[in-house]
Amino acid sequence: MPDTFNRKDLLGIEDLSVEEIVKILGSAASFREVAERDIKKVPTLRGKTIINLFYEPSTRTRTSFEIAAKRMSADAINIAVASSSIKKGETLKDTALNLEAMSPDCIVVRHGSSGTPQMLARYLKCSVINAGDGLHEHPSQALLDMLTVSNRLGGIEKLDGLRILIVGDVAHSRVARSNILGFSKMGAHVTVCGPPTMIPVGIEHLGCDVNHDMTAAVKDADVVMMLRLQLERQAAGLFPSPREYAKLYGLDSLKLKRAKKDVIILHPGPINRGLEISPEVADGPWSLILEQVANGLAVRMALFYLLLGGVKDGISNANKSLNPDGVRLLNLR
């Protein structure tokens, strides 16, 4: 099995095969080791240029991609575009051609409009990584969530048959979409939960069940993933008040009592403490929220490595321990 992908872009979980997901997670597990060394930098992508093109403000994801690129010795350039400054009269194709002129090897793009990374990828010769597009997908987030859960449980094969509960504004969440697709591809059973106003029509076609009763749904869950509530949705009539939302769909110790003892709690961050998740839960032993951040870095390093090829020697240390399947190595913890 070749070490790199036979694909130019990483646009969504929807396009990925199970084998590809296994390969990414396996590779990411190896990069977790790099993070635990004294010298955290590998020369793998020396001479490569990676552009972080962010049309939406994002400190976490952008920083994660930037550090990932730097740890692999690539040159990372950040371009932040305020949507207000997008020039009228310039097409997306013009933008793509302008970027291409800088001869990057990879463009990491986040955009508020769904499908924009896909459109850019059609115009660009270099690799494109989707760092979140509109309400569509956020594939690196789902990959890091899958890595976090499989690390905790001791192997990617443990995802098979696992019960995942995703709670919150699924309609407006690209994290939810990518996770539904990802976990269900790996054999997990995904349920989404939220008020009907936040569950979009036909979501079950992505591979999940729907349950509007969180108190009931939480009982069977092995993993509870809480989505961030955006308060401005109140004005659009999606929920009557933060108070009632927290009561019905916030994860507090009362609801947690009904859950399995070893339930795993995830949140893509940043957290609204006291809203979708109560402080004692966020800080409790169930929560792997900080683990998610570390795994995010590893997943993004893996994506760069797999898409950009890199110098094989540069990662030899990490590579030595990389099982061809990338599976058993996930027993890192």
Contact residues for another protein, defined by CB under 8 A = 14, 89, 91-93, 111-116, 118-119, 133-137, 171, 174, 177, 200-203, 205-206, 236
- Smallest gap from Cβ 113 to another protein, in A, equals 4
- Smaller CB separation from another protein, 89 or 324: 89
Rounded-to-integer distance, Cα 322 and Cα 183, Å: 23
- Smaller CB separation from another protein, 68 or 143: 143
> What b-and-e string marks burial along 217-256, b requiring 16 or more CB atoms within 10 Å of the CB?
bbeebbbbbbbbbeeebeeeebbeebeebbebbbbbeebb
Tokens of 96: 């793509």
- Smallest gap from Cβ 38 to another protein, in A, equals 42
- Smaller CB separation from another protein, 202 or 324: 202
Q: Are 299 and 144 in contact (CB under 8 A)?
A: yes
- Smallest gap from Cβ 196 to another protein, in A, equals 14
Q: What are phi and psi of 223, to 5 degrees?
A: -130, 130
Q: Of the candidates 11, 30, 265, 259, which has an alpha carbon nearest to the alpha carbon of residue 148? A: 265
Q: What angle do CA 125, 20, 97 make, to 5 degrees?
A: 15
- Smaller CB separation from another protein, 71 or 136: 136
- Smallest gap from Cβ 283 to another protein, in A, equals 32
Rounded-to-integer distance, Cα 114 and Cα 92, Å: 13
Residue indicated by tokens 């590579």: 319
- Smallest gap from Cβ 200 to another protein, in A, equals 4
Q: Are 144 and 159 in contact (CB under 8 A)?
A: no
Amino acid at 294: A
- Neighbouring-strand partners of residue 192: 166, 210
- Smallest gap from Cβ 167 to another protein, in A, equals 18
Chain-centre distance of CA 254, in angstroms? 28
- Smaller CB separation from another protein, 68 or 120: 120
- Smallest gap from Cβ 297 to another protein, in A, equals 25
- Smallest gap from Cβ 163 to another protein, in A, equals 22
Burial of 180 (0-12, 13-18, 19+ CB in 10 A): buried
- Smallest gap from Cβ 131 to another protein, in A, equals 14
- Smaller CB separation from another protein, 210 or 327: 210
- Smaller CB separation from another protein, 85 or 333: 85
- Smaller CB separation from another protein, 11 or 298: 11
What kind and span of H or E run contains 277?
A: none
Distances (CA, A) of 255 to 170, 193, 224: 20, 14, 11
- Smaller CB separation from another protein, 165 or 170: 170
